[in-house]
Chain A
Amino acid sequence: MILADVFSFLPILLKAAIVTIEVTVGSLLLSTLLGLVLAIMKVSPTQLLSVPASVFINVIRGLPIIVQLFYIYFVLPGMGIQLTAFQAGIIGLGIAYSAYQAENFRAGIQAIDPGQIEAAKSIGMKGPLIMRRVILPQAIRITLPPYGNTTVMMLKDSSLVSTITVAEMTRAGQLLAASTFENMTVYTLVALLYLALSLPLIFGVNRLEKHFGQGNRRRDK
């Protein structure tokens, strides 16, 4: 590793790191929203809602993320839907992960003591209000640690959008390495930058798990 190389590569990779962060945050938002909707649909007593949600979740979980990305980037334009690589990356990753987010949220919702729902009903609350005021606030606490883990996985899987030419860190690394042949320097830097992003997240998740693991739960006799 030559220091001069490091200093010439680093600005390029840092710029690409911003794209990595953008893709991660964008698809995190999309997957959270979509995942929440899917989870609420899936636990609904109405089959009209729960069945389509289940089907969607299973289909998405059954497909490799790369195939989903290729489909959105290469097939949709043929149907008249034009997306930039960046947009396709966020939408593809967001949809792919919405299935996992939905499962996280569903598990959180179903972990709520049924007595909570009965207590809410007994003071006259209706379904949507119970969801908003009683179930979701508690489910979110339960879901936070797995949500953090999913975020770490999304950060790493954002490298998959390099396959549809999004200029994020992995792709920038590939291009740099191909043009300079400094594989060792380039990929070490790429790896270190990923760690710089993921390790703080992982520590955060660990702290969350500790925080929610002990105490802070209802003391049931």
Chain B
Amino acid sequence: MIAINNIHKSFGDVAVLRGVSLDVASGEVVCLIGPSGSGKSTVLRCINGLETYDHGDILINDARVDTQQADIHALRTRVGMVFQRFNLFPHRSVIENVMEGPVYVKHEPRQQARAMAEELLDKVGLNDKYDAYPNQLSGGQQQRVAIARALAMRPDAMLFDEPTSALDPELVGDVLTVMRTLAEEGMTMVVVTHEMSFAREVADRVCFLHGGTIVEEGPAKQVLSQPHHERTQDFLRRVLNH
């Protein structure tokens, strides 16, 4: 479904990704963990073409992600993205945020788009907030709207970039619950997270990124409980103890 093949990426002189390869099968949930600056966000941003890469290939259902190509917009609709800071459209109501893509990108009839948006908002637990504006919602509610907005495009896969790290601790649970439900329904997901318990429970596979390469990967329980690599052990000791 998503095939990342030895991608490299530099910002100026700084090599940020140095040969990252990762295959994500349909229905699989992969968590990316790693220290700050290790390149986790950059990997996600390359997958849906928000960032270019210098070498290698990224294929989504066998179509190459290339920001120079005209099909990049269509490709982006196949992969939903959820950002750390939500990035909802502040000038549109909750339901309009969710309808924006179906109506203006896919040109679906408003009625149909509205029905689907309501269904998705109900699913993320916001059936009473259709007409609220983003600034009237808590961070956790905003993030759930953002998830609904991405799902409204009926993507084949979802990318999450630290979706709960801008949230107050008591709001994290609701967002993780929504993500867990998605995973159970068979959504293909790549999740950058510091929520180790989420990774342990939900992820099929965990990849530990360090210095722009995947240092260790494997089944969630194995990587998180019995990491082989010293760097992984260090990292996990630090995040679990703080």
A residues near B (Cβ < 8 Å) are 113, 115-116, 118-126, 129, 133-134, 137-138, 141, 215-221
Contact = CB atoms under 8 A, between A and B. Distances in A.
Interface string B85-96: 101111100000
Contacts of B77: 123-124
24 contacts: A113-B87, A115-B87, A116-B89, A118-B87, A119-B83, A120-B89, A122-B79, A122-B80, A123-B80, A123-B149, A124-B101, A124-B106, A124-B153, A125-B101, A126-B73, A129-B104, A133-B100, A133-B104, A141-B91, A216-B135, A217-B135, A219-B134, A220-B85, A221-B166
Nearest to A113: B87
Interface residues of B, number: 33
B76 interface: yes
A134 B50 CA distance: 17
B187 interface: no
Given A133-B100, A219-B135, A221-B167, A122 B76 contact: yes
A123 B50 contact: no
Given A122-B150, A219-B135, A137 B73 contact: no
Contacts of A116: 87, 89
Contacts of B106: 124
Contacts of A113: 87
Contacts of B135: 215-219
B163 interface: no
Given A121-B76, A133-B100, A138-B91, 18 more contacts: A115-B87, A118-B87, A119-B146, A119-B149, A121-B73, A122-B48, A122-B79, A123-B101, A123-B153, A124-B77, A124-B105, A125-B101, A125-B105, A129-B104, A137-B91, A141-B91, A215-B135, A217-B90
Which of B50, B83, B89 has most A Cβ within 10 Å?
Answer: B89
B14 interface: no
A147 to B, nearest CB: 17
B235 to A, nearest CB: 26
Interface string B152-195: 11000000000000111000000000000000000000000000
Contacts of B209: none
B81 interface: yes
A221 to B, nearest CB: 5
A124 B83 contact: no
A115 B74 contact: no
B139 interface: yes
Most interface-central of B91, B139, B149, B150 (chain A CB within 10 A) = B91
A134 B89 contact: yes
A123 B91 contact: no
B80 A218 contact: no
Contact of B105 (A123, A137, A218, A219): A123
Contact of B81 (A122, A141, A217): A122
Contact of B73 (A124, A215, A221): A124
The 4 closest A-B pairs by CB, nearest first: A124-B77, A123-B101, A119-B87, A122-B81
A134 B105 CA distance: 13
Given A124-B73, A218-B134, A138 B90 contact: yes
A71 B49 CA distance: 50
Interface string B103-120: 011100000000000000
